[in-house]
Structure 1
Amino acid sequence: MKKLLFSLSTLLCITVAFAQETEPASGFLKGDAFISGTVGFGTQKTGDYKANQFTVAPKAGYFVSENIALGVGLGYRSQKSDQTDSFLGTTYETKTSTFEAGVFGRYYFTPASNFSIFTELSAAYATTKQESNMDWATDFTVNAFDVEFAPGFNYFVTRHLALEATFGFINYSTRKLDIDGAETTNAFNVSLDLANINFGIIYKF
């Protein structure tokens, strides 16, 4: 919930600032280039457990036709969690960080309109590293490849600025620990609940 409120408040502040432009709003055309991104953070606390999360994911794309945009994206996610053992008085800390890079393609149904629904197909390579001060835990690195399909929409509030949201996903992933003898794990996931809504901003050049 805190992540959602932060995302919405950030979008509102930026939208108000850019809404002072006098140019009318418009959509996308063939040859348009854009950058977009999402930033979010979240906190969780349950008893002696607490965690902080941070995510940033910039993208850049180009319309190769009236309805199709191709682009590249980067991503960084981090999480730090603390678990306190009330009996021993010891706090165990775990840090997880993920870097990813990928490509994406979007099909816009009404790109020239202020409001347009799109579908996005993306592929990305990611590496995740986890470190912990727990005596029984082992630090590890996981390499992963993901293919994901997600619907979304954008709404132009000025000629150059649009709000964006994607919701739900269909995902296929492969993961492997970076150690000798590790086996690859494959997974297929479908999520259509409201917990997987991501908000962002698009700037069209």
Structure 2
Amino acid sequence: MKKVLLTAAAVFAFGFANAQEEAKSFGFSKGNIIVEGNLGFSSDKDNESFNGTDVEETKTNTFNFNPKAGYFVTDKIAVGVELGLGSSKEENTVFGTPNVTNEIKSNSFGAGVFARYYFLELGQRFKTYTEAGLGFGSTKNKTNGTETSKVNSLNLGIDLGINYFVTDKFAINFGLANVLGYSSSKTEFPGGGEDKSNELNGNFNVFNNFFNTAQFGLTYKF
């Protein structure tokens, strides 16, 4: 009987240890590396007509890609770097004799650093975090092939997000961007003109319209 009890205790302890290990696998530990990415694109076509005849057409295409990588200095804190690449193209055609088309293009590049803190676990697979980031960006705008302006910016932001672990290595990321942010930008025009602006904003209504403000991406843990 004593051997049976010892065996049962050993089995229970082994099962409990495995359960604990399984629970820990859905999360992060000191020394882990994460790679994330958000990819977005859109295409839109708008026609304006008068008395059933098209008079103007506008086509807009946008693309953006935001990869980032982080290193866990503790089980709950990660620091890392991120990049931002984006482009947009708008073609506006006014129908007439002849048709007149204007093309507006924008290309942007950004880089920054971030610190992320995981403060809440909702079950085994949901991990909630807050993130502070500092970034620099540059955007060039052209109309019909001629540069019309260049914008340089500095951005500070505090975001919220959730990782949902599909496997122990792979997670879907839901990010609420710009919950609180500050930006400073300078726009330079050909010929020497410039325009400066500073903006502080708080987007606290993200909790009421989550799916209108969330950014969805993928997270992989090494």
Interval containing the TM-score (normalised by the shorter chain): 0.7 to 0.9
8 Å CA contact 1:144, 1:174 repeated in 2: yes
**1:90 partnered with 2:100:** yes
Structure 1 segment 27-176 matched on structure 2, within 5 A: 27-47=27-47, 48-87=57-96, 88-110=98-120, 113-133=124-144, 139-169=148-178, 170-176=180-186
Gaps of 5+ in 1: 1-22
| Residue identity opposite 1:72 in structure 2 | V
Q: Compute the displacement of 1:172 (Å).
A: 0.9
Normalising by the residue count of structure 2, what TM-score does the alignment of the two structures yield? 0.75
Q: Which has the higher contact order (CA 8 A, sep 6+)?
A: 1
Q: CA shift at 1:45, angstroms?
A: 1.9
Q: Partners in 1 of 2:202 and 2:91 — Cα distance?
A: 30
Q: Which has the larger radius of gyration?
A: 2
Equivalent residues, number? 181
Indicate whether 1:196 and 2:197 are aligned.
no
Amino acid at match of 1:92: N
- Cα deviations by residue, 1:91-114 (Å, 9 ceiling, x for unpaired): 110000110000011110146942
Q: How much does 1:178 deviate? A: 3.0
Once the two structures are aligned, what percentage of the paired residues are identical? 36
1 or 2, which has the higher helix percentage? 2
How much does 1:168 deviate?
Answer: 4.3
Could you list the structure 1 runs, at least 4 aligned residues long, displaced by more than 4 angstroms after superposition. none
Give the alignment's Cα RMSD to 1 decimal.
Answer: 2.2
Richer in strand (by share): 2
Structure 1 window deviating more from structure 2 (39-48 vs 106-115): it is 106-115
Shift of 1:140: 1.2
Please report the TM-score for the alignment, with normalisation by the length of structure 1. 0.81
Instruction: Give, in angstroms, the shift of residue 138 of structure 1.
Output: 5.8
Letter in 1 for 2:155: D
How far is 1:70 from its partner?
0.5
Runs of 5+ consecutive residues of structure 2 not aligned to the other structure? 1-21, 48-56
